[in-house]
Copies of this chain bind each other. A is one copy, B any other.
Amino acid sequence: MRVGILTIGNELISGRTQDTNTSHVARELNIQGWQVPILMSVDDDEAAIKTALDHILTQADAVIVTGGLGPTTDDKTTEAIARAYGLKLYRDEAILAKIKAIFDRYGLYWAPNNAKQADFPEGAEPIVNPVGTAWGFSLNVQGKLIAVLPGVPAEMKRMLSQGVLPVLRRTFPEAAQAVATRTLKLSGISEAEVDQRLADADLEGQGVAVGFYPHFPEIRVVLTVRKATDAEAQALLKSAVAQVISRLEHHIFAYDQETLEGTVAALLTERKLTLSIAESCTGGLVTDRLTDISGSSVFLERSAVTYSNLAKTELLGVPEETLREYGAVSEPTARLMAEGVRKLGHTDLGLSTTGVAGPTGGSEQKPVGTVFVALADGRETICRKYLFRWERRRVKVAASQAALTMLKRYLISILE
């Protein structure tokens, strides 16, 4: 069973936007055991869309289309598909009401052309958009399946997994194989090193597909197995995961949909521990990541982004002499920041970061990318020095990853 992919939009063929939808959809299809013979992108143009669909459907049994479902005049996908297969458009009043309700609830301005998003080709099965107003649809024409999704990645991804992949399995049941997949998320190691450490396991030789997806600051290793039965697939996958863990355990921080911040939040909540954070070079990013987790207010008391030396002294009690003698980017400062913010927030734990994010501010002894991370629990304070290459944003991200990783390892160690 072959499934082609068509992404639509002038921003793609002009090269203005990097098309990330295609690789995401292709990856998801492969993971589910569907073959992908062709990927195509064309302009928001009726004739181009028709020609593209006709060609792809000579190569595939189904096509997943993304883009061109918005309310604006340059969004032509729905009309193009309807006309291409001689179908009338119908307006789904129930969906129109739902879209209008969203606009009302949030007091958004209702432009008449928004109604366009409730139009579908006759015979189409609407696909709900749980995070936006652009509904998608699937359509059977000439024994082939066409599934259409909006181009906004966050919306497309949700609708693909909830609204399209199930329809594919339903439409082509015989082609469905038992597929089992696991994603392992690693950090603090290079892609080449991961590859090398796994070489002797020869997972491919065992029938396990191994994919490496660098996703800064993570490396995602995706293991996929296809077998006749679920039981066989699960058994092989389990053994493959065990082989990876035995070689890379120290670097694995999460699995599948888990995130590092989510894991840390769960551990803090489970352990009923409270946290305060003092950030310098990370500029609030560590706290931003933790507060992305709903319920973080249970354990996160406060954070201080002490960008100036005065703030480090006033809020965290780092003595001026320490800053003078060792500098703001130093182990003594990092330790005192962690201990100081712990006292400031009256919490069980205090976490701190201080470093040189760059591109300026580096020195012989402390080049750009030098970062100290410290964690205080009232009994002891641990501190570690890192040296990251890369530009400013990536240094901040890598430093936040190091801080959350230190916290996670601490929480696991005291749980054991």
| Interfacial residues of chain A within 1-35, with CB under 8 A of chain B in the complex | 10-20, 22-30
Contact across chains for A15 and B27 when beta carbons are under 8 A apart: yes
Contact across chains for B41 and A71 when beta carbons are under 8 A apart: no
**Complex interface: chain B residues within 8 A of A211 (CB):** 10-11, 14, 16, 74
**Complex interface: chain B residues within 8 A of A108 (CB):** 190
Contact across chains for A304 and B302 when beta carbons are under 8 A apart: yes
Known: A196-B113, A301-B307. A393 touches B292 (CB 8 A): yes
Size of interface on A: residues with Cβ below 8 Å to B: 110
Among candidates B106, B109, B284, B291, residue contacting A388 with C-beta atoms closer than 8 Å: B106
Show 29 A/B contacts (Cβ-Cβ < 8 Å), sorted by A. A11-B211, A12-B23, A12-B26, A14-B211, A15-B27, A15-B29, A15-B36, A16-B27, A37-B42, A38-B40, A38-B48, A48-B59, A71-B195, A74-B211, A106-B389, A111-B195, A152-B216, A154-B216, A283-B290, A284-B286, A284-B305, A288-B396, A291-B305, A292-B396, A294-B358, A302-B306, A302-B308, A302-B315, A303-B307
A326 within 8 A of B: no
9 closest A-B pairs (Cβ-Cβ)?
A: A283-B291, A15-B27, A284-B284, A15-B26, A284-B287, A302-B311, A303-B305, A39-B41, A72-B195
Shortest distance between the CB of A199 and any CB in chain B (Å): 8
Shortest distance between the CB of A195 and any CB in chain B (Å): 4
